[in-house]
Amino acid sequence: MTCDLRTTAADDSKAPPRQRGVSFACSGCMAIGQTRCALVTGASSGIGAAIARRLASDGLRVFGTSRKPFDSGQSGIEPVVLDVTDDDSVRAAIDLVLDKSGRLDVLINNAGTTLVGALEETSTDEARWLLETNLLGVHRVTRACLPHLRARKGHTVIIGSIAGFLAKPGEGFYSATKHALEGYADVLRLELSPFGVRVALVEPGFVRTNFASIARAVATPLEIYDVLRHAMRDGLVRDVEGGVEAAEVAACVSRIVASGAPKLRHRVGRDAARIYRIKSLLPPGMFEWGLRRRFGLAGHNKGVE
């Protein structure tokens, strides 16, 4: 079982690059003369913008969403206002897409954010805010789109993170939401398999975007966690600066959407593949020790082996 899971979740960054600008689709996904339609959440910048551009270049009709009106700056990308935390906003956005295109073939759940602070510093309201966006937001949009995706035997792709299999001190609820998405994708894939809907989860490592600069901090920090918080922020900035380009994640999504039978997990970036291998090979206590050193916690209680 373990061997099978690792094979299924192999590093996707090593897949051969596709020719840009060539429209293609999985066998049986598109009839001749029809254009597949994709909805990409969180498409105003970063990974979402890169995905929207790539899918448009692949020949799909792309609707890119953001909480506030935005100019995509790209031909072929149609901006739509959508707040993933609001049911009415989600319904209105999907109705607009269907009114304009008459179909929905691809959903890319990319919208998400983070919260910097130790768990003890995090209020229930702050935790709820993050859960509403990163987890319930994905569910809200997916649930509203599923009748239309079933009709097209389409694709739904969730943009997760290495935080889905890696505990990140200082971003505890971010890690919790990404771990939850791992289970959500597992179940969604099983439940939708009888209907021909393809489900995939992308687990990028660090990506060069503005994610670190827009990270929200807890409102009431505690002095005892200053070292952790500073180590986490410094490390996040450093890791993001050394990460892969967002276009690499977009290329992975492009391959998924083109496939009639994509695997479930797709890791993007050497750091994602490396961290997963290290965690799977090292004894838990040794891996935990490494995390404590990485986040300035080496002098704290060593915990339980």
The four Cα atoms 12, 16, 17, 19 give a dihedral, to 10 degrees, of -140
Q: Residue 212 to residues 177, 232, 235: CA-CA distances in angstroms?
A: 17, 10, 10
What are 18's two structure tokens?
């596709």
Active site residues: 174
Radius of gyration of the chain (CA): 19
Neighbours of 208 (CB within 10 A): 17
Of the candidates 52, 55, 27, the residue with the CA atom closest to the CA atom of residue 42: 52
Angle between helices 172-192 and 136-152 in degrees, nearest 10: 20
The helix or strand, by DSSP H or E, that contains position 31, with its residue range, turns out to be none
What are 170's two structure tokens?
């200082």
Spatial separation of the C-alpha atoms in residues 60 and 53, rounded to whole Å: 10
